[in-house]
Chains A and B, each alone.
Chain A
Amino acid sequence: MDKELKAENTKPILISRPVEPLKIQTDKLNAWFGNNHVLKDVSLRIKENHVTAIIGPSGCGKSTLIRCMNRMHELVPQAKVSGAVLLDDANVYAKGVDPVSVRRKIGMVFQKPNPFPTMSVYDNVAAGLKLNGERDHARLDRAVKRSLDLAFLWEEVKHELDKSGSSLSGGQQQRLCIARALAVEPEVLLMDEPCSALDPIATAKIEELITNLKDQYTVVIVTHNMQQAARVSDYTAFLYLGQLIEYGETTNLFENPTEELTERYLTGKFG
């Protein structure tokens, strides 16, 4: 498997450390919206229990890439995918794989906080479990507390769990969405510019919690903010016009990018 991936990768992936387990590998992943070919042969290997950042100019396919990982891409009418995404060595696009079970293992947080507007804080967090048939109140309570704790929100909302989810502040709403995604105990958390709608203080909170999450989860974060990528991620992938240009340890990639495109992007020459 490993050999295959290396052989067909457009750019060699240089990771100096000894082998660490991989959580997600994309293999020659291509994606389309109708005739618009937005991902071209992306082969990326994401390490378990690390934070991987995906950077690149607007429209280069970052969101599409992570939406392909949990099979959200195919929900858009006319959207197509080819290639493979391996989650622990099993292709999530293999025949007979239920996309619902993939999404349960790979959670997602979106750019704009999107709590369920008619549900309370509690129900928002419990939604994933409840709507999959969990009825045991004690277990739900525990999951809600645990997830809100992980999302650094418990202390702020523990007395108003009955309040509507959309009455929280923007930053709290985004942390609520993180808690909601964590409550179903996924293995991977995909975050699509989770801080772009938030102020610096709320952003700092979320960055702190992301760092905290990597003990238990594998995190993939899309961001426009280089400093953020540098602060939170262990590995960084640079995407340009649907192609993976460079991928490596964040410090390496930021300090000595091997590709000229990467360097020009990092120094703000375009994008």
Chain B
Amino acid sequence: MESLQGNWRNSRVRTSTPSWRRFKDRIAFSLGFLCVTLAMIPLASILFEVVRNGATALSVQFLTGTPALVTLPTGNAALAGGIAVSIEGTLVLMGLTAVIAVPIGLLAGVYLAEFGDNRFGRSIRFLNDVLSEFPSIVIGILVYSILVVGLRVGFSAFAGGVALSIIMLPIVTRTTEESIKLVPRSVRDAAMALGIRKWRATISVVLSTARSGVVTGALLSIARISGESAPLLLTIGTSSYFFSGLNQQVDALPVRIFLLSSENYVSGAQQQGWGAALILIVLVLCLNLAVRIATRGKYGAVRSRI
């Protein structure tokens, strides 16, 4: 015992005096700080650029008008009007996608969490993971060839919604499964011991306990697909008119940003592109805020008190 203590003292003296430790602590802290700063640079500069360039495009007309070309006195064409059609299109697509993907993903997630502990469940989980890593352009091509051309649905909001759903589905499934698995055994046991049927216990007790995680997953996946452009390029077409049906072509902000920013000859187009980008970012930010608010509900408050 004594020799052990002696050894320990010796080694402490040799390697780490208090000042050396404090020095190491400083180094570690500075490195961490540096890395955080580095990581923030791209985010900050993107935000800065988008706000600087996009803010000048903002006006009531920009937010509420339809695209219009005007001829300048010089004879050149210029873009006026606004991007209301694209904003509406994006909202329609987000809603449609959520309506398709959330229920399916939710049920799939519940299934995997509750009954997925077998070969079939593991295969589904694996395929789901593969699907979530799929390049989104491939999903666009798939929907294009099967739905748009193959089944002659044509460029339409519906085709776009299907393509986005395929992207969203694995995310919702995964997050639902994960949040359900976080629900402690004891809660499940308590429900079963009350003589509640398993499906009822799963939906009313387990899923409701996992609620904030599930809602977060769904909202984040909507935020994720709201910025997708590749699959939409091949599925929704374009439109200068407000939404008129799921089988009609629609516009969407990411596609509009792409078109506007690659337009070099019409003046005002680039500026509108920045404006549209700003709106899209604000939209995504709002969704993230919604996540914050949704998870701060009753349960969140309770949890933080414990």
Q: Which residues of B contact A167 (CB under 8 A)?
A: 302, 305
Residues in A with CB closer than 8 Å to B186 are 110, 112, 114
Residues of A within 8 A of B55 (CB): none
| Given A110-B186, A131-B200, A131-B201, A117-B193 contact (CB < 8 Å) | no
Contact, CB under 8 Å: B196 / A131:
yes
Contact assessment for A117 and B194 in the assembled complex, using a CB-CB cutoff below 8 Å:
no
Stretch at the interface among A37-45, A98-106, A243-251: A98-106
Interface 1/0s, chain A 156-171, versus B by CB < 8 A? 0000000010110000
CB distance from B199 to the nearest CB of A (A): 11
Q: Contacts of B196 on A, CB cut-off 8 Å?
A: 100, 127-128, 131-132
Query: Min CB distance, B32 to chain A, in Å?
Result: 34
In the complex, the answer to whether A103 meets B194 with C-beta atoms within 8 Å is: yes
Give the secondary structure class of A's interface.
Answer: mixed
A29 within 8 A of B: no
- A177 is an interface residue with CB less than 8 A from chain B: yes
Q: Is the CB of B187 within 8 A of A72?
A: no
Given contacts A117-B299, A131-B204, contact A103 B187 (CB under 8 A): no
B191 beta carbon closer than 8 Å to chain A? yes
Indicate if the CB atoms of B192 and A118 lie closer than 8 Å: no
**Residues of the A chain whose Cβ atoms lie less than 8 Å from the Cβ of B197:** 100
Closest residue on chain B to residue A70 by CB atoms: B193
Stretch at the interface among B12-20, B205-213, B221-229, B272-280: B205-213
Q: Roughly how many angstroms separate A132 CA and B193 CA in the complex, as a whole number?
A: 13
Q: Do the beta carbons of A103 and B193 come within 8 Å of each other? A: yes
In the complex, chain B residues whose CB is within 8 Å of the CB of A177? 190
In Å, the complex CA distance between A259 and B197 comes to 43
Contacts of B298 in A (CB 8 A): 118, 164
Q: Is A77 an interface residue (CB 8 A)?
A: yes
- How would residues 75 to 89 of chain A score, 1 for a CB under 8 Å from any chain B CB and 0 otherwise? 101000000000000
Give which listed residue, A75, A104, A115, A119, contacts B195 with CB less than 8 A: A104
Give residues 88-138 of A contacting B (CB, 8 Å).
100-105, 107-108, 110, 112, 114-119, 127-128, 131-132
What is the CA–CA distance of A115 and B302 in the complex, to the nearest angstrom? 13
Which residues of the other chain, A, contact B208 by a CB distance below 8 angstroms?
116, 118-119
Contacting residue for A184 out of B194, B204, B305, CB 8 A: B194
A181: Cβ under 8 A from any B Cβ: yes
In the complex, whether B306 has a CB less than 8 A from a CB of chain A is yes
| A180 B305 Cβ-Cβ under 8 A | no
B190 and A110 contact, CB distance less than 8 A: yes
B194 and A166 contacting across the interface, CB-CB below 8 Å: no
Interface size on B, residues (CB 8 A): 27
Say whether B117 faces chain A, with CB atoms less than 8 Å apart.
yes
Q: Is B133 an interface residue (CB 8 A)?
A: no
Given A114-B187, A116-B187, A166–B306 Cβ distance below 8 Å?
yes
1/0 per residue, CB under 8 A from A, across B165-205: the answer is: 00000000000000000001011011111111100110011
Instruction: Enumerate chain A residues within 8 angstroms of B303, measured Cβ to Cβ.
Output: 117
Set B189, B195, B301, B302: member contacting A128, Cβ < 8 A = B195
CB-defined contacts of A72 to chain B, threshold 8 Å: 189, 192-193
Q: Give the distance to chain A from B243, nearest Cβ to Cβ, in Å.
A: 37
Contact B194 A180 (CB under 8 A): yes
How far is it, in angstroms, between the C-alpha of A41 and the C-alpha of B288 when the chains are bound? Answer: 58
Contact A114–B205 (Cβ < 8 Å): no
> How far in angstroms is the closest Cβ of chain B from A144?
14
The answer on a CB contact under 8 Å between B194 and A114 is no
Q: Whole-angstrom distance between the alpha carbons of A77 and B116 in the complex? A: 13
Closest to B211 in A: A118
Closest B residue to A186 by beta carbon equals B195
Chain A 7-28 interface residues, beta-carbon cutoff 8 Å to B? none
Residues from chain B with Cβ under 8 Å of A77 in the complex: 117
- Which of A118, A166, A181, A184 neighbours the largest number of chain B CB atoms within 10 Å of its CB? A118
Chain B: residues with CB nearer than 8 A to chain A? 117, 184, 186-187, 189-197, 200-201, 204-205, 208-209, 211, 298-299, 301-303, 305-306
Contacts A112-B186, A114-B190, A115-B190 supplied; 19 other A-B pairs, CB < 8 Å: A70-B193, A72-B189, A103-B195, A104-B195, A110-B189, A110-B190, A114-B186, A114-B187, A117-B209, A117-B302, A118-B209, A127-B194, A131-B196, A164-B299, A164-B301, A164-B302, A166-B302, A167-B302, A184-B194
